[in-house]
């Protein structure tokens, strides 16, 4: 009986030992399989045949160690013969993890990095922009669109009063056929008119219908002692009334103009009275004359009144001819003397002037009146109280260009 019991106990112990050895072997085999699988993925395949188990374990060990090192572990990989299930499992995880972590890291870097702007100019502009979202930086980095300013075309510029820079103190441009004012500046100011007076002198002389070939003599009464102006017509000079009229209008000869008035029926006083009556008849209500030369500053008028006077004088053929003559030779005391027009514009090929007269005394400044055809339109131009020597000439040229620009645009000048 005892022998039977001993045999049963022995068999039970043997069976238990066998089971334990089988479990131990299975437990040790599982880590080997996982390590071998990791080694196969990490190490390159040398041949397609099956390697011995020990060689596979040795190949898996360096790969596992390498993957553990990448994961930050400083411990060497466990031997394949020892059942380190946790370490082996971590090694297998590390072999698969870098790919996903790398891709996610690159994705985060790409998201954080600024978008590359196409073209060098956009990339350079993006560097100057403050950090921010990539789309915002690109919007600021876009090149600015060119802006086209709506500028007034040249035909429109003449309509602006500031574009017609008239520097004379008083000015007026009127259409001769309708008396419509195209431009005016202080046109109602009463100002001294200097030798513009001689236009009225010529009309009064011609209205009396004298003999133009009758001789008149320059006397002491014709000498200017008021301002001391010079003259080449010396006392005692004899010339025809026609020549005196020519020199008064063309060269603004004061002694010739005074001699014409003095030789008027009734004398100088009657002549001045006739001048004022003529002015009143023309509607020149702000005009007063005191002498036939304009040397007196009491000879005053307005640009408006003078435009009336010029329009009326233009109806006298001799005034048109004499006032626009560029130069002439006159016989004075047996010798010829050359005289020239005081208005340089009459000799300009760009001007078509029908009547002209200049004037100057200190109180009046530089003055100019003209009848001219500008842009195919007959106009009267009055310029008074100009300071500079060439100001009145410059103003006349500016008025001409102003009207011609209007004509070129197909428009009629508008009052400004």
Per-residue pLDDT of the chain (416 residues; tens, 9 = 90+): 566 667 766 777 666 666 555 555 555 554 444 444 444 454 444 444 444 444 444 444 444 444 444 444 444 444 444 444 444 444 444 444 444 444 444 444 434 444 444 334 433 433 333 333 333 333 333 333 333 333 333 333 344 444 788 999 999 999 998 889 999 999 999 999 999 999 999 999 999 999 999 999 999 999 999 999 999 999 999 999 999 999 999 999 999 999 999 999 999 999 999 999 999 999 999 999 999 999 999 999 999 999 999 999 999 999 999 999 999 998 888 889 999 999 999 999 999 999 999 999 999 999 999 999 999 999 999 999 999 889 999 999 999 999 998 888 765 554 54
Q: Which of the following is catalytic: 67, 252, 296, 356?
A: 252
Identify the pLDDT of residue 305: 98
Token pair 């009267």 is at which residue? Answer: 380
The verdict on whether 195 is a catalytic residue reads: yes
Looking at the DSSP bridge assignments, the partners of residue 215 are 240
CA-nearest of 408, 411, 409, 382 to 186 is 382
Active-site residue among 32, 185, 198, 400? 198
Q: Which entry of 67, 168, 170, 195 is annotated as an active-site residue? A: 195
Angstrom distance (rounded) from CA 6 to CA 26: 30
* pLDDT value of position 3: 67
For position 9, what pLDDT does the model report? 67
131 to 16, 107, 134, 278: CA distances (angstroms): 73, 20, 8, 87
Burial state string for 263-299 with b = 16 or more CB within 10 A and e = fewer than 16: bbeeebeebbebbbebbeebebebbbbbbbbbbbbeb
| Contact predicate 163/402, CB 8 Å | yes
Per-residue pLDDT at 18: 60
Predicted local distance difference test score (pLDDT) of residue 286: 98
CA distances from 211 to 11, 260, 334 (A): 179, 12, 22
Determine the Cα–Cα distance for residues 160 and 158; give it in Å rounded to an integer. Answer: 5
Instruction: State if pTM tops 0.75.
Output: no
Active site residue 121: no
Residue 217 pairs with which residues in a beta bridge?
238
* Strand extents, DSSP E, 285-386: 300-301, 327-332, 335-340, 353-361, 365-374, 377-386
Query: Does the active-site annotation cover 128?
Result: no
């Amino acid at each position: 009986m005892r022998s039977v019991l001993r045999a049963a106990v022995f068999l039970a112990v043997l069976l238990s030992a066998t089971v334990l050895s089988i479990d131990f072997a299975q437990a040790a085999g599982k880590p080997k399989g996982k390590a071998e699988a990791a080694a196969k993925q990490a190490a390159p395949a040398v041949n397609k045949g099956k390697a011995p188990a020990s060689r596979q374990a040795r190949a898996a060990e360096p790969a596992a160690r390498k993957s553990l090192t990448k994961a930050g572990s400083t411990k060497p990989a466990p031997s394949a013969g020892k059942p380190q299930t946790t370490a082996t499992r971590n090694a297998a995880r590390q072999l698969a993890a870098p790919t996903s972590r790398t891709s996610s890291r690159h994705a985060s870097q790409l998201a954080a990095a600024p978008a590359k702007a196409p073209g060098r100019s956009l990339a350079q502009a993006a560097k100057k922009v403050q950090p921010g979202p990539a789309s915002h930086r690109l919007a600021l980095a876009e090149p600015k669109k060119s802006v086209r300013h709506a500028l007034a075309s040249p035909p429109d510029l003449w309509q602006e009063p500031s574009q017609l820079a008239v520097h004379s103190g008083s000015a007026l441009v009127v259409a001769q056929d309708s008396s419509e004012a195209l431009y005016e500046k202080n046109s109602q100011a009463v100002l001294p008119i200097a030798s513009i007076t001689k236009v009225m002198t010529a009309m009064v002389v011609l209205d009396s219908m004298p003999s133009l070939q009758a001789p008149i003599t320059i006397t002491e009464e014709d000498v200017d002692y008021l301002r001391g102006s010079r003259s080449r017509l010396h006392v005692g000079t004899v010339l025809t009334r026609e020549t005196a009229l020519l020199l008064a209008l063309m060269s603004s000869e004061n002694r010739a103009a005074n001699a014409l008035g003095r030789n008027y029926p009734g004398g100088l006083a009657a002549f001045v009275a006739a001048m004022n009556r003529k002015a009143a008849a023309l509607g020149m209500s702000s005009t007063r004359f005191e002498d036939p030369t304009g040397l007196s500053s009491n000879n005053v008028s307005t640009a408006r009144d003078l435009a009336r006077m010029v329009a009326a004088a233009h109806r006298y053929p001799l005034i048109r001819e004499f006032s626009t003559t560029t130069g002439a030779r006159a016989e004075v005391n047996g010798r010829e003397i050359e005289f020239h027009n005081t208005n340089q514009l009459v000799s300009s090929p760009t001007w078509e002037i029908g009547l002209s007269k200049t004037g100057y005394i200190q109180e009046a400044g530089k003055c100019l009146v003209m009848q001219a055809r500008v842009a195919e339109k007959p106009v009267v131009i009055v310029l008074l109280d100009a300071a500079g020597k060439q100001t009145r000439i410059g103003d006349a040229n500016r008025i001409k260009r102003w009207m011609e620009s209007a004509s070129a645009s197909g428009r009629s000048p508008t009052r400004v």
